[in-house]
Structure 1
Amino acid sequence: MLLLTVVSWQSAFCSEQPAPLQDTGALRLKRGTNISHWLSQSRQRGKERAAFFTEKDVSFITEHGFDHIRIPVDEEQLWAEDLTKVKEAFNLLHQALQWCYLHHLNVVIDLHILRSHYFDAKYKPLWTQPEAQERFLRCWQDLSDELKRYPTSMLAYELMNEPVADSAAQWNELLTRGVATIRAREPKRMIVIGSNRWQSLTSFPELKVPENDPNIILSFHFYQPFTLTHHMASWTKIADYEGPVHYPGPTITKKELESLPASIRNLLPGAEQAFDAKVIAAQLQPALQLAQRLHLPLYCGEWGCLNTVPRKDRLNWYKDVRKVLEQNNIAWSNWGYKGKGFGIVGEDGEADKGLLKALVK
C-alpha cells in the first residue's frame, strides 16, 4: 500500500532537494507495454510531444491489467549536443513518473538510442571511440542523479537497448562499467541488461554480468519469425515481399515460395519452416538456462507483430508468445502502446480490443 498522499508526493517532487519517496518492497514486473515514439524515435516536440502521453494513458494502461510500462528515451531527446540537459524533456519524464507512482504503475527506463549507437546503423562509434563510451556513462550519471528519488520498488533502469557490438566482449566490458556507474550511486536499483546483437536469444550464452549482484534482470527481445512479425515493414530487407504469411505453421508455404522470383525468395530464408508455441519455447532456452544458472529473473522487453499480418494469424501469434512467456515466469512488455503498426492504440486513437484481449485477458 502506498503511504504518501498526493500532496506529499508533490512536495517531494517539486522541491529543489526532493525527499525520497516511499519504497514498498521488491520491484514487481509481469505485464507491460512500451511507450514508444514519445521520448524516443520521434520528431514531436512542444505541445504535440506533451499530448502524446498523458495521465489518461496511464489510467488506461492500469485499468486494462498492465502493471508496468517501459519508457524508451533517446540521448538526443534528453541532452543537447554539449550534454546539457533538455529541461522540457526531463520535465515530461518526471511528470510521467509522477502519474505512474500515483496510479501504482511500475516503470522501466530504457536508454534506447545514443548519438554514438543506433542498433540499425552501419557505423556505431560507441564501440571504437573512448569519448563516446564516456558520454554513455555520463548519461547514466545524469539519469541516476535525476531519478534516484524514485523508489526501487517502482522504477528500474535498462542500461541500453539492443546493443550491437562487433564482439560480445565489447558489450560485456561496457555493461560492466555502466553497472558500476549506477551502483556507485544506487546500490539497490534494479538494472535490466540485454544480450549483444539486438538482445537476441542466440547471443545469450556470451553475455557476462557482474557477479554477486542480485539486483539485475536479464532481458531479451522476441520478434520471431521475423518474416511474419515484420511483414512488409518498409525499413527491413523483406519489405518487397507482399504475399501471404501464416501462423502457426510455415510462415510462407513451399508452394508460395516457389512462385516468387529468386530476387525476393532469397530474402526469405527459413520462411517455409513450421513455427508454433513449441518452437517458441525451444528458442527461449538459451535465456532460460543463463537465468537459471545465475538465479536472475528474465524479462522480454520487446515483442510484437505488425498489423500488416492477417488478423487471425497475428492474434494467434500474440496468444502463443504470451502463453510461453508466462509459463516460464518471464515478465514482458509488448511493443508498443500507440500507433506505428504495432500499437494497442492505433494512430486513430482507438484501442484494439482483440489485441488487448490476447495480451491481458
Structure 2
Amino acid sequence: MLPHSNSRRDFLKKSALLTAGIGLSLQQSSIAATRVKNQLPRWRGFNLLDFFNPDPDKGRKSKDDYFKWMADWGFDFVRIPISYPSYLDFDRSKPITPEEVMQFDERRLQEIDSLIDKCHEQKLHVSLNLHRAPGFCINAGFQEPYNLWEDAEALDAFCAHWEMWSRRYKNISSKKLSFDLVNEPFKRDNPNDQHSPGGPVPVEEYRKVAQAALDTIKSVKKTRLVIADGNGGGGIAVPELADLDLHQSCRGYFPMHISHHKASWVYKDPDSLKEPVWPGMHNEKYYSREDLEKHYAPWISLLEQGVGVHCGELGCYNKTPHEVFLSWFEDILDIQHAHGIGFGLWEFSGTFGVLNSGREDVAYEDWHGEKLDRKLLNLLMKYA
C-alpha cells in the first residue's frame, strides 16, 4: 500500500511511462524485424585515387598515415578506383592499341598490391574498381581503342583484366576484398567527348558485360563478392541484374546541382550557375529530402529482392557552399543509414575530401600538417 497520494501519483506516472516504453520498444522491434537485411556489410570509408589517373606517375599517392587515421576514426572501407592504363607498359606518346591493352606491368601491379596491403593492415575492406575499363570510362582524357558495350574484343580484354586480378588475389578472403566491375556505366554518342550527349547503357548490353566478367571472376574464386555499379552514371538501380550473383553500388550525388556545383567536367559554363540551396528551388523545381527518398526507393526495392546495396561514391565538390553541402549530405547519409547502406566518400584528400578540399568557406583544423574539415568528419563519424 502506498503511504500517501504523491507517491501514488508518482507510481502511476512511472507505470504509464514504463507501459509507453514497452510499447515503443515493441514497435521498434517490429520495425527492426520487418526491415530487410542488406546482404552487403555496411562498410563506411573513402575512395583513394592513387591509380585514378591513366598515367601512374600522375596519381595522388596516399600517405601511410591516412590508413591509420581512417581506422582510428572508426571507418572500415576503402574503394580503389583504378584506370587500367596505370598498370600497363606501353608507348604513352600515342593512343593505346588493342594489343597494348594486355601488356601488364608487374612493377605497377606490385604498387597496387602494396596499397591493398596497407589497407588490410588497418583492417579496412578493399573494393577494387575498374574506373577506366578497356573500352569505357565515364571521364574523357584517354583515347580508347574500342567500345566495351559494343565490341567483342573490348569485352574479351575486360574479362582478361578481371581474370588477372582474380588470380592475383585468389588467396585473399572475400571479407577483406571485393571487386567492383566497372565504374558508372554510361553510353555517349562520342565516347571520347566529356560533354557528348548520352544516357544509360541499354540493359541487355550492360548485362552481357557484367555477366561475362562475373563468370570469369567466379571461375577463379566462387566466393568472391562482386558489385555492379548503377546504370546511367551510377544512379539508376538495375533490377534486370537481380538474378545474377551480383550486388549493386549506388551513388550519393543526387541532385547534381548540389553535388557538382560548378564542376567543369559536368558543366560547359560552370561560372554562370546560381548558388544552390538545400532544400530549395532549382530551375523552377523545389528539391527536398522527399526527393531523395524517391531517388533511393528503387535501391530499397533491390534490398527487398535480396540484392546487397552499397554507396560506392558520394560527396560534394568544393564549390557548393559548405553549410548547403552539409545539410544535403546529412539527409543522404541518414536515408542510407536507415536501410543499412554503407558509403565511400569521394575522396579522402582532395576537392571532395575530408582533408585538403580547398573550400573557401571552411575554417580548417590543422591535422598533422593536413587541412581537416572537422565538421564534415564529425558528420561522417556520426554515421560510421
- For the aligned pair, the TM-score class normalised by the smaller chain equals 0.7 to 0.9
Paired amino acid for 1:343:
G
1:236 aligned to 2:269?
A: no
In the alignment of these two chains, the number of paired residues is 306
Could you tell me which residue of structure 2 aligns to residue 153 of structure 1? 175
Could you tell me which residue of structure 1 aligns to residue 374 of structure 2? 353
Could you tell me which residue of structure 2 aligns to residue 302 of structure 1? 313
Q: Distance between the aligned counterparts of 2:288 and 2:261, measured in 1?
A: 17
Q: Distance between the aligned counterparts of 1:142 and 1:61, measured in 2?
A: 29
State the Cα distance separating 1:120 from its structure 2 match: 4.1
1:222 aligned to 2:243?
A: no
Distance change (3 Å), C-alpha of 1:219 and 1:185 = same
Q: Distance between the aligned counterparts of 1:185 and 1:133, measured in 2?
A: 18
Could you tell me which residue of structure 2 aligns to residue 315 of structure 1? 326
1:281 paired residue among 293, 298, 302 = 293
1:11-42: CA deviation from partner (whole Å, max 9, x where unpaired): xxxxxxxxxxxxxxx97442121113x20136
Q: Distance between the aligned counterparts of 1:74 and 1:42, measured in 2?
A: 5
Q: Distance between the aligned counterparts of 2:253 and 2:55, measured in 1?
A: 25
Could you tell me which residue of structure 1 aligns to residue 361 of structure 2? none
1:76 aligned to 2:76?
A: no
State the Cα distance separating 1:103 from its structure 2 match: 1.1
1:2-81 alignment, distance < 5 Å = 28-36=41-49, 38-41=50-53, 43-45=55-57, 49=59, 52-80=61-89, 81=100
1:158/1:192 contact within 8 Å kept: yes
- Structure 2 SS opposite 1:143: helix
1:265-323: CA deviation from partner (whole Å, max 9, x where unpaired): xxxxxx33222222211210111112312x12211111111121111111111211111
The sequence identity of aligned pairs, in percent, is 23
Could you tell me which residue of structure 2 aligns to residue 344 of structure 1? 354
Gaps of at least 5 residues in structure 1 are: 1-25, 253-270
Paired amino acid for 1:290:
L
State the Cα distance separating 1:239 from its structure 2 match: 1.5
1:196 aligned to 2:231?
A: yes
Paired amino acid for 2:210:
L
Displacement over 3 Å in runs of 4+: 26-29, 120-124
1:130 paired residue among 152, 167, 184 = 152
Q: Distance between the aligned counterparts of 1:112 and 1:27, measured in 2?
A: 21
Q: Distance between the aligned counterparts of 1:61 and 1:127, measured in 2?
A: 36
State the Cα distance separating 1:134 from its structure 2 match: 0.3
Could you tell me which residue of structure 2 aligns to residue 272 of structure 1? 284
- Structure 1 SS opposite 2:217: helix
- Structure 1 SS opposite 2:138: coil
- Structure 2 SS opposite 1:126: coil
Paired amino acid for 2:106:
K
Q: Distance between the aligned counterparts of 1:335 and 1:243, measured in 2?
A: 24
1:78/1:85 contact within 8 Å kept: yes
Q: Distance between the aligned counterparts of 1:285 and 1:27, measured in 2?
A: 17
1:173 aligned to 2:201?
A: no
State the Cα distance separating 1:82 from its structure 2 match: 4.5
Could you tell me which residue of structure 1 aligns to residue 129 of structure 2? 110
Q: Distance between the aligned counterparts of 2:357 and 2:322, measured in 1?
A: 17
Distance change (3 Å), C-alpha of 1:109 and 1:315 = same
Gaps of at least 5 residues in structure 2 are: 1-38, 90-99, 188-200, 359-369
1:28/1:153 contact within 8 Å kept: no
- Structure 2 SS opposite 1:196: coil
2:86/2:108 contact within 8 Å kept: yes
Q: Distance between the aligned counterparts of 1:94 and 1:158, measured in 2?
A: 17
Tell me the C-alpha RMSD between the 2 structures.
2.2
State the Cα distance separating 1:44 from its structure 2 match: 5.0
State the Cα distance separating 1:115 from its structure 2 match: 4.0
TM-score using structure 2 length: 0.74
State the Cα distance separating 1:347 from its structure 2 match: 5.7
1:31/1:66 contact within 8 Å kept: yes
1:115-142: CA deviation from partner (whole Å, max 9, x where unpaired): 4111145986112221111000000011
1:247 paired residue among 278, 290, 293 = 278
Paired amino acid for 1:105:
L
Q: Distance between the aligned counterparts of 2:335 and 2:41, measured in 1?
A: 19
1:91-115: CA deviation from partner (whole Å, max 9, x where unpaired): 1211122122221111111111024
Q: Distance between the aligned counterparts of 1:52 and 1:94, measured in 2?
A: 14
1:39/1:89 contact within 8 Å kept: no
State the Cα distance separating 1:178 from its structure 2 match: 0.8
Distance change (3 Å), C-alpha of 1:27 and 1:94 = farther
Distance change (3 Å), C-alpha of 1:82 and 1:312 = closer
2:55/2:85 contact within 8 Å kept: no
Could you tell me which residue of structure 2 aligns to residue 208 of structure 1? 241
Paired amino acid for 2:320:
V
Distance change (3 Å), C-alpha of 1:208 and 1:113 = same
1:241-286: CA deviation from partner (whole Å, max 9, x where unpaired): 2432111222x4xxxxxxxxxxxxxxxxxx3322222221121011
Q: Distance between the aligned counterparts of 1:300 and 1:240, measured in 2?
A: 29
1:182-237: CA deviation from partner (whole Å, max 9, x where unpaired): 01001001101123221222x534x32444x3xx3211123111112111111122
1:163/1:198 contact within 8 Å kept: yes
